[in-house]
Amino acid sequence: MDHHKTGCARMMKDSQFFREVGSNLWDPEIRCNEYDTFGIDVQVLSTVPVMFSYWAKPEHALDLSKLLNDHIASIIDDQPGRFIGLGTLPMQDPSLAVSELERCVKELGLSGVQIGTNINGLNLNDDSLFEVFESAESLNTAIFIHPWYMMGEKEMNQYWLPWLVGMPAETSRAICSMIFGGVFERLPNLRVAFAHGGGAFPATIGRIDHGFNVRPDLCAIDNDKLPSTYLGKFWVDSLVHDRTALSYLISKIGMEKIALGTDYPFPLGELEPGSLINKMNDLSADNRDMLFSRNALNWLGIDKNSLLR
């Protein structure tokens, strides 16, 4: 990140200019002030995915992860009751990732971790990664999965297509990998949430089930459970930008497994956090409370009363 003028910074990726960001990306006071205008009480902080650094040497990625995680923990300490934290892990070395996961939970008091939809091209069902998920279940902590390093990024570099097409596909890739690979089946108490309404997965579950049924020789080799069986077993966020899409998501995923997502403060996020849920006229007050807070707290394993102390 290259600071070039007060209040703004230029983010670089692969030595190329990526995007310009404002101080609301890193300044907790500005972030709190902006969120106050939208009636947001608490935000879950996580690392910007471009900083996962899975490409780096494992020991270097561990050092960076510790730095980022310590920083998030310090913000939570400085702004009690305003933030909840998710750590980041050096997933290119699962043993180091498990060690840092344990530190995040036991020493820093973070509520979970965020990982990418793939690890340097490895799908999330890869045997080498299972120990990370197993450790998360054992620690009773949450995992947030966010797309990064999108498939087809080099082949479709026009029109922002990696973000408009690749991102939803990446999230579906992650969900399908964890279902087909038996991760959810082997770890039934694992609490996982996926970004952006689960990406393309909810809209294509019919196709996925059909493919599973007609080609079990390809799809059912590691898990013989129908993919739609897992609807309602994981969480997604509400960031789908469309009322019809959110209604469909509720019908497929279930009201109790969808939590407010904002992608704040990035362009593809909600410019007015919570506005889509507020536009859903057919929601009861109880449903709104679920979407705005209760579902997220259940995923994180947090008692609402603990935030009020």
pLDDT in tens, 206-218: 999 999 999 999 9
- Alpha-helical segments (H) within 123-215: 130-139, 161, 167-180, 183-186, 201-214
From the list 205, 287, 214, 216, the residue with the least C-alpha distance to 252 is 205
By DSSP bridging, strand 2-5 and strand 112-116 are unpaired
pTM listed for this prediction = 0.93
pLDDT in tens, 41-100: 999 999 999 899 999 999 999 999 999 999 999 999 998 889 999 999 999 999 999 999
d(CA 101, CA 112) in angstroms, rounded, equals 8
- pLDDT at residue 12 greater than cutoff 90: no
pLDDT value of position 4: 39
The contacts of residue 242 (CB under 8 Å, 6+ apart) are 276
Q: Domain limits of the chain?
A: 38-307
Is 38-307 CATH 3.20.20.140? yes
pLDDT value of position 19: 63
pLDDT value of position 306: 74
d(CA 279, CA 123) in angstroms, rounded, equals 36
pLDDT value of position 308: 56
Report yes or no: 258 and 295 within 8 Å, Cβ to Cβ: yes
d(CA 75, CA 114) in angstroms, rounded, equals 17
d(CA 62, CA 50) in angstroms, rounded, equals 15
Percent of the chain with pLDDT over 90: 80
- Alpha-helical segments (H) within the chain: 28-37, 58-78, 94-106, 130-139, 161, 167-180, 183-186, 201-214, 216-219, 243-253, 275-278, 285-289, 295-300, 304-307
